[in-house]
């Protein structure tokens, strides 16, 4: 398990899937804001690739996020779009509604940075998020990500086009805290 100050990133367990499905993906508004495509219902027990981990798939590493104190599941995090040639990847996370606003997001981003830069040896990590996603913008910027641009009207979300902010962080600019 990767450990931050408050959270751990661990492998996805089978019993995580129903919780993540109900709390994150069955919420039409939340899922529509978090994903690049339209929301669609997923049959319980199906092999939803957002939730069920296929260890043979390259280019994506999904984690379940747990509280270090007690091991309670609080969300999901992913290193995705891994480009081994250019040594770059994207990060993403989703916290269960009851776990939002507690500083976990900043810690999850820090743990993903540790994984990307130290464990995987990547040069660049990137975040794309909706311009009104203040929590993700704050979590990324607290970890040293720099706003590199705005992609105007690039996301179709619940009947309207929204802007996305692109943030990047290079390995040499990352300043890890003492825990990793």
- Number of other residues whose CB lies within 10 A of the CB of residue 148: 12
Question: Look-up: residue for tokens 């280019």?
Answer: 59
The reply to whether 136 falls in a domain is yes
**For the chain (length 180 residues), average pLDDT per consecutive 10?**
96 93 87 85 75 80 96 97 97 96 96 98 98 97 98 95 97 77
Please give the tally of structural domains in the chain. 1
For the segment 70-121, what is each residue's pLDDT rounded down to a tens digit? 999 999 999 999 999 999 999 999 999 999 999 999 999 999 999 999 999 9
3-state SS, residue 26? coil
The CATH number assigned to the domain holding 157 equals 3.40.630.30
3-state SS, residue 89? strand
The reply to whether 110 falls in a domain is yes
The reply to whether 179 falls in a domain is no
pTM exceeds 0.75, yes or no: yes
Domain that holds residue 72: 2-173
The reply to whether 84 falls in a domain is yes
* Sign of the C-alpha dihedral computed for residues 144, 148, 154 and 160 taken in this order: positive
């Amino acid at each position: 398990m990767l450990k931050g100050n408050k959270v751990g990133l661990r492998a996805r367990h089978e019993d995580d899937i129903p919780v993540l499905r109900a709390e994150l993906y069955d919420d039409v508004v939340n899922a529509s804001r978090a994903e690049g495509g339209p929301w669609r219902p997923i049959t319980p027990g199906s092999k939803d690739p957002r939730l069920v981990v296929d260890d043979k798939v390259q280019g994506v590493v999904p984690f379940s996020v747990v509280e270090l104190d007690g091991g309670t599941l609080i969300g999901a995090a992913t290193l995705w779009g891994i480009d081994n040639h250019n040594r770059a990847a994207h990060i993403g996370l989703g916290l269960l509604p009851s776990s939002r606003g507690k500083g976990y997001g900043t810690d999850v981003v820090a743990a993903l940075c540790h994984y990307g830069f130290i464990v995987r040896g990547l040069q660049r990590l990137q975040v794309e998020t909706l311009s009104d996603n203040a929590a993700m913008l704050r979590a990324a910027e607290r970890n040293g990500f720099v706003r590199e641009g705005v992609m105007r009207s690039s996301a179709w979300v619940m009947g309207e086009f929204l802007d996305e902010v692109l943030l990047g962080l290079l390995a040499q600019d990352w300043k890890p805290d003492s825990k990793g």
